[in-house]
């Protein structure tokens, strides 16, 4: 009897880039955990951010079911990817299996994540410092990418993480570098919005950078741009952003 052919495609750089974009461009996600009382899968919606190494970040209350579940079993899955017009299953989505690590308060890591999260979710300032709220880093272990009908891939967790020795230095100086870049190029954001075909909305601004790309936000809209080649430092990041904005295609 003939063995059925695999429905999976070979994972290539294009698939990896799509997966990273789906994860890093999401402002929220469906989070699935294991209910410690029943053992059943429990799904909920959470706000999503990213750390400087691309690891997904969630901010959750200790009173929620998913937080209690993560305390009992660190395994979780995230579903990201927005449906568009027509059949929702024709649009790309990514399921990322993760292991949750709680971020301790009053640490440099917490301060860094807090700043990056608020840059993406300004309204979270109303409750981000409540004593029952805490951050979790969701370390990717593996991922399943469906790029649309007939486009299925399996990725390793390392495909979604930014491996750079410059991460800490970039995180420390990123906000100042971006402010300086925009001050030196007043038309930068208009040029980026045009070049990246951003939806017409209010003014756009850069809300996060890392060695793999940058994020732009306008109200509730978020746009991720991945570099073709990861940057080595902040100067390289700023140079890449300027080239994307002003070079003729």
Mean pLDDT by 10 residues, the chain (249 residues): 63 93 96 95 97 97 95 97 84 96 96 96 96 97 90 95 93 93 94 91 91 94 93 94 83
Q: Put residue 107 in one of left, alpha, beta given phi > 0 → left and psi -120 to 50 → alpha.
A: beta
* Vertex 197 angle, CA 195 and 209, to 5°: 70
Q: What stretches of 185-216 show up as alpha helix (H) in DSSP?
A: 188-195
CA 188 to chain centre: 23
Q: What is the pLDDT of residue 249?
A: 53
Q: How many CB atoms lie within 10 A of CB 182?
A: 15
- 9 and 151 Cβ atoms separated by less than 8 Å: yes
At 131, phi and psi to the nearest 5?
A: -60, -25
Give the three-class secondary structure for 53: coil
């Amino acid at each position: 009897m003939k063995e059925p052919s695999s429905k999976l495609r070979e994972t290539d750089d294009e698939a990896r880039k799509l997966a990273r974009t789906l994860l890093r461009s999401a402002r929220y996600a469906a989070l699935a955990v294991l209910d410690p009382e029943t053992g059943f899968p429990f799904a909920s919606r959470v706000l999503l951010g990213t750390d400087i190494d691309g690891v997904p970040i969630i901010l959750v209350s200790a009173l929620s079911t998913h937080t209690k579940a993560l305390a009992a079993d660190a395994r979780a899955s995230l579903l990201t990817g927005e449906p568009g017009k027509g059949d929702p299953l024709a649009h790309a989505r990514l399921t990322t299996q993760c292991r949750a690590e709680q971020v301790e308060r009053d640490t440099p890591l917490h301060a860094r994540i807090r700043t990056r999260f608020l840059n993406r979710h300004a309204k979270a300032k109303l409750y981000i410092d409540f004593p029952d709220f805490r951050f979790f880093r969701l370390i990717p272990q593996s991922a399943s990418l469906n790029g649309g009908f007939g486009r299925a891939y399996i990725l390793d967790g390392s495909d979604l993480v930014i491996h750079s020795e410059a991460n800490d230095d970039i995180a420390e100086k990123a906000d100042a570098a971006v402010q300086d870049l925009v001050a030196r190029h007043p038309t930068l954001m208009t040029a980026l919005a045009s070049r990246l075909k951003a939806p017409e909305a209010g003014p756009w601004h850069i809300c996060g950078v890392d060695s793999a790309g940058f994020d732009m936000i306008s109200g509730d809209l978020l746009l991720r741009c991945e570099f073709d080649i990861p940057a080595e430092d902040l100067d390289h990041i700023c140079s890449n952003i300027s080239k994307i904005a002003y070079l003729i295609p």
